[in-house]
Amino acid sequence: MINLRTMPAYTFPEPILWGSATAGHQIEGDNIHSSNYHYEQAHPENYVEPSGKACNSYELYKEDIELLKQLGHQAYRFSIEWCRIQPEEGRVDEGAVAHYQDMLDRLAAAGIHACVTLVHGSVPWWFAQKGGWDKVENHHYFTEYIDYIVPRIADRVGSWIILNEFNLGRAVTPAALQHKVGSLKAHCAGALAVKQYSKAPVSSAHAFVHQDPVRPLDKMDRTMADLSDWLINEFFFHAVRTGEIVLPYREMEFVPELKQSCDYWAVNYYHRTPVTGRTATGVGTKLEFSRCKLVDCDFGQREFNPESFMQCASRLTDKDVWITENGICCDDDRVRIIYTMLQLEAMKMALQYYPALRIKAYLHWSLLDNYEWSSFVPRFGLCDVDRKTFERTPKPSAWFLKEVIERNGFSGALFEKYVPELSCFKLYGGENRSMDITIN
């Protein structure tokens, strides 16, 4: 059994590039030309609250970079909002280009590796109206955008992420599968377009969610888990490894260029999904005793599941692995430190179990408490953001991570320093509550 307080000091055998990740729509604010902003205004009933000024980072980006420096981050993943560069079809906003160029200059001056995401969840509203990624005939808008923006910034970018998490979704409807294929082809076209101007490694961020059968010996649970795993995870790895786009109830397509579309595996790892053959969705519930309700809303019943990271990592030993997101939403910051300790332990164990595995980077999600796509309640940040003044305040977990970065490792003593006691551990009550636990 692991005691987080007495763990021996461990140093990762190779240097890891440490830092944090954010996304434009979630932090910049006033992202008025994006599809998301449009939907938030048009359908407020689907949102707890709109993104509004988010963390006001479009104005306060210099402060964010100072924060990264203060916290010792070596790398920063952020997205460039396509809709700011091209607010309307055919129109370029040079002020927005200059903004991101200045940001990249400042990161370079601070010696911080810039990992640039080209599209993280939000696209220009004009592009969404044309049908977005699903229509392959739209992809030239994206590659033309790349032809414009990438040469203007490439010399300061350390790594690229073309799209974020298009792999999610287990539906097998023609529309759902078409969305997947369209996104995969857009990723491929985008990756090849970027490579014309940049030698920096290219990938797309994969939400690697372990599809875990609820009853591991039950044939239907296992079949559903295998199917979900193919739909969510393996179709992507298979496509990149072989060029074959293989999805259920579709003719296989061979796109050989896919084999050049990822120089590394970019993995966003958070948790697992229990899979069952006994519900219409295929998704089971997490066992009551393993569920955590750590923010005052129903947010996927997070649980601590570091062993699933090992399952995922074991499948990615053929390219460098970058953990491009990992974190937890909680109001009690000590939980973030516990979660991160367990993740670091899982990384250590994975490296020991799978000697061919190469973990090159760890980017914590997220630098700031930000807009979680429909609400500000789930707080993933290493830093608190005052919702009125936008003042940023690092939490203890930020200082904890700084020491991890300095050591390229972790120890029980470090945990003890930041979490000296856990006597008043707060778990929320309510409909989806976990059990009432007090940890002394």
Find the shortest distance in angstroms from Cβ 165 to ligand BGC.
Answer: 5
Residues β-bridged to residue 273: 211
Find the shortest distance in angstroms from Cβ 51 to ligand BGC.
Answer: 12
When the beta carbons of 22 and 198 are compared against ligand BGC, the nearer one is 22
When the beta carbons of 115 and 414 are compared against ligand BGC, the nearer one is 115
Find the shortest distance in angstroms from Cβ 369 to ligand BGC.
Answer: 11
Find the shortest distance in angstroms from Cβ 121 to ligand BGC.
Answer: 6
When the beta carbons of 84 and 364 are compared against ligand BGC, the nearer one is 364
CA distance 398 to 210: 27
When the beta carbons of 212 and 372 are compared against ligand BGC, the nearer one is 372
Residue 40 vs residues 29, 406, 432: alpha-carbon distances, Å: 13, 41, 26
When the beta carbons of 204 and 411 are compared against ligand BGC, the nearer one is 204
When the beta carbons of 121 and 277 are compared against ligand BGC, the nearer one is 121
Find the shortest distance in angstroms from Cβ 114 to ligand BGC.
Answer: 18
The two structure tokens encoding residue 272: 């697992």
CA distance 366 to 108: 20
CA distance 180 to 120: 15
Cβ atoms of 365 and 380 within 8 Å: the answer is yes
Interface residues toward ligand BGC, by CB under 6 A: 23, 26, 121, 164-165, 207, 268, 325, 365, 372, 380
Considering just the CA atoms, what is the radius of gyration of the chain in Å? 21
Find the shortest distance in angstroms from Cβ 26 to ligand BGC.
Answer: 6
Find the shortest distance in angstroms from Cβ 423 to ligand BGC.
Answer: 29
Q: What angle do CA 291, 377, 410 make, to 5 degrees?
A: 60
When the beta carbons of 325 and 345 are compared against ligand BGC, the nearer one is 325
When the beta carbons of 229 and 372 are compared against ligand BGC, the nearer one is 372
| Beta-carbon contacts of residue 424 (< 8 Å; ≥ 6 apart) | none
Pairing assessment for the beta strands 159-164 and 253-254 based on DSSP bridges: unpaired
Find the shortest distance in angstroms from Cβ 210 to ligand BGC.
Answer: 14
When the beta carbons of 4 and 337 are compared against ligand BGC, the nearer one is 337
CA distance 146 to 56: 26
When the beta carbons of 221 and 369 are compared against ligand BGC, the nearer one is 369
Helix axes 333-353, 306-313, angle to 10 degrees: 30
Find the shortest distance in angstroms from Cβ 297 to ligand BGC.
Answer: 12
Find the shortest distance in angstroms from Cβ 20 to ligand BGC.
Answer: 12
